[in-house]
Amino acid sequence: MNATNSRTRREERRAEIVRAALEVIAERGYRGASLAAVAERVGLTQQGLLHYFPTKDALLVAVLEERDQWDAVPDSRWRVDLLASLVEYNAMRPGIIQTFSALLGESVTEGHPARGYFTERYVRVRANMAGVLRTEYGDRLPNGLTPERAAPLLVAVMDGLQYQWLLDPESVDMPGAFRDFLALLGEEA
Amino acid sequence: MNATNSRTRREERRAEIVRAALEVIAERGYRGASLAAVAERVGLTQQGLLHYFPTKDALLVAVLEERDQWDAVPDSRWRVDLLASLVEYNAMRPGIIQTFSALLGESVTEGHPARGYFTERYVRVRANMAGVLRTEYGDRLPNGLTPERAAPLLVAVMDGLQYQWLLDPESVDMPGAFRDFLALLGEEA
DNA sequence: TACGAAACCTACCGCTCTACAGGTAATCGA
DNA sequence: TCGATTACCTGTAGAGCGGTAGGTTTCGTA
């Protein structure tokens, strides 16, 4: 095997570990997720895992980078009707949603290693959403709101619905509720 | 001092501890909040604290009961315009908001002791909000939504805005955004 | 003033956690 | 085939955790 292959193998193993970490964080949160639990899931000892990620925080960074890659795909290519599909898609992947809902909750505590990440992510996502709305409606939505004022609401609805849905999926039709909200945004004042 | 006074003193001490617990949970989350840290804040040892709450979970129960008392005040007495005042009031108490945002985030993880609480609370709050909307608008909002379908959105916006605001209060005008949303709800389709 | 309970304390147990140190076996390039 | 790197392992340090056991002091009550 050549060097490229070695490098690939290492990357694959790291990706495997990140995937396991996503699961464990979903189940126990970041603070509650032990390296040993993640390691066990990929058939390693805790010390073996530290060979790939030297500290717990380094592993978290890798987890957050994975997420970045995930939703950095479309950016300005989004259109409002595609947002509904995104939420529908999310509703089929409760694991990921649970991971990042748990992390978001933890991140508001002091000195949490994901705090900076979520703060910056929100700035970016709000700007993205404002862009999407501007593309769709121009400088004013039908109801008179600017895209910049509607964007935080859009993001809030997505996040807020996720918590209600995670806690009680039977009672909350997340995609349906989100479509209701989009309809609300598109209506005349 | 008589028996009543003793009982009162005990209750006061417990309330003091619960207040300290709210602070520590806001800073570190529930899992990250150690009994010792709470105890120190009221000038006790960890074991002294256990004299008032026999387990950590018992302390959490008391914290959640405090919250119940807090927002059980008005129920059906709420009106839509008072919701805006509530959000404005919340914006002046970041500590409490942070405590319960952190707890909500943790609660979606498996086996979390607050999970049942939040699940039931959402059922109750959605029903309350639907009631408020019905009182204001009747069986259909101006845009055609039923109160039952609008209620999850209302709750989602409140929660979702809190996360954005906690992470970046300078960038997010929580009360303003919420008023925007209320206006949206009140508009004709 | 004597008694019992309440309000703490010290000491400690057993467990878990992250991380470091150092070893060993497999692998890989030259 | 040899020397080095990689991929793990065992062992353990060091701290923190919730909770128990059992003592002592304070205090209300009779």
CA distance B171 to chain A (A): 8
User: Which residues 35-94 of A are in CB contact (within 8 Å) with B?
Assistant: none
Q: Does residue A38 reach within 7 angstroms of strand C, measured from its CB?
A: no
Instruction: From chain B, pick out residues whose CB is under 8 angstroms from the CB of A158.
Output: 160
* Cβ contact A167–B31 (<8 Å): no
Question: Position B21: which residue type?
Answer: A
What integer is the mean pLDDT of A119-144?
95
Query: Which residue is the nearest neighbor of D6, CA to C1'?
Result: A6
Nucleotides of D under 7 A from a protein CB: 6-11, 16-22, 27-29
* Cβ contact A159–B156 (<8 Å): yes
Q: Does residue B5 reach within 7 angstroms of strand D, measured from its CB?
A: yes
CA distance B146 to chain A (A): 11
What integer is the mean pLDDT of A182-186?
95
The pLDDT assigned to A59 comes to: 98
The pLDDT assigned to B3 comes to: 46
Mean of the per-residue pLDDT values of chain A:
93
CA distance A2 to chain B (A): 42
How many Cβ contacts (< 8 angstroms) between chains A and B? 171
User: Which residues 96-135 of B are in CB contact (within 8 Å) with A?
Assistant: 98, 101-110, 115, 118-119, 122-123, 126
The pLDDT assigned to A74 comes to: 57
Q: CB within 8 A of B56, min separation 6: which ones?
A: B35
Tens of pLDDT, residue by residue over A132-158, are 999 999 999 999 999 999 999 999 999
The pLDDT assigned to A8 comes to: 84
Please give the residue of chain A at the shortest CA–CA distance from B181.
Answer: A153
The DSSP result for chain B, as a single string, is --HHHHHHHHHHHHHHHHHHHHHHHHHHHHHH--HHHHHHHTT--HHHHHTTSSSHHHHHHHHHHHHHHHHTSSGGG--HHHHHHHHHHHTT-HHHHHHHHHHHHHHTSTT-TTHHHHHHHHHHHHHHHHHHHHHHHTTS-TTS--HHHHHHHHHHHHHHHHHHHHH-TTT--HHHHHHHHHHHHHS--
Confidence of residue A79 (pLDDT cuts 50, 70, 90): confident
| A17 and A52 Cβ atoms separated by less than 8 Å | yes
Torsion of CA A91, B119, A151, B167, to 10 degrees: -120
Half-sphere exposure of A186 (CA within 13 A, CB side): 12
Please give the residue of chain B at the shortest CA–CA distance from A141.
Answer: B184
Q: Does A172 touch chain B (CB under 8 A)?
A: yes
pTM (predicted TM-score): 0.95
> What CA–CA distance (Å, rounded) separates A156 from B99?
18
Helical packing angle, B3-32 and A3-32, nearest 10°: 170
Instruction: From chain A, pick out residues whose CB is under 8 angstroms from the CB of B129.
Output: none
> What CA–CA distance (Å, rounded) separates B159 from A2?
52
* Cβ contact B159–A160 (<8 Å): yes
Q: Which of B22, B141, B167 to mutate to test the interface with A (most CBs of A within 10 A)?
A: B167
The pLDDT assigned to B69 comes to: 82
Q: Which of A46, A64, A66, A68 is nearest to A55 (CA)?
A: A46
The pLDDT assigned to B70 comes to: 74
Q: For chain B, what's the residue count?
A: 189
Question: Position A66: which residue type?
Answer: E
Please give the residue of chain B at the shortest CA–CA distance from A126.
Answer: B164
Kindly report which listed range (A38-42, A170-174, B67-71, B154-158) carries the lowest average pLDDT score: B67-71
The pLDDT assigned to B2 comes to: 46
For chain B, which residues score pLDDT lower than 50?
1-3
> What CA–CA distance (Å, rounded) separates B119 from B69?
17
Nucleotide nearest to B58 (CA to C1'): D18
Q: Provide the token pair at A98.
A: 């649970």
Confidence of residue A174 (pLDDT cuts 50, 70, 90): very high
Tell me: pLDDT of A2 over 50.
Answer: no
Please give the residue of chain B at the shortest CA–CA distance from A178.
Answer: B153
> What CA–CA distance (Å, rounded) separates A9 from A160?
39
Tell me: pLDDT of A3 over 50.
Answer: no
Tens of pLDDT, residue by residue over A8-34, are 889 999 999 999 999 999 999 999 999
Tell me: pLDDT of A76 over 60.
Answer: no
Confidence of residue A189 (pLDDT cuts 50, 70, 90): low
Nucleotide nearest to B39 (CA to C1'): C8
Q: Which of B34, B171, B28, B158 is nearest to A107 (CA)?
A: B28
The pLDDT assigned to B1 comes to: 41
The pLDDT assigned to A173 comes to: 98
> What CA–CA distance (Å, rounded) separates A91 from A168?
12
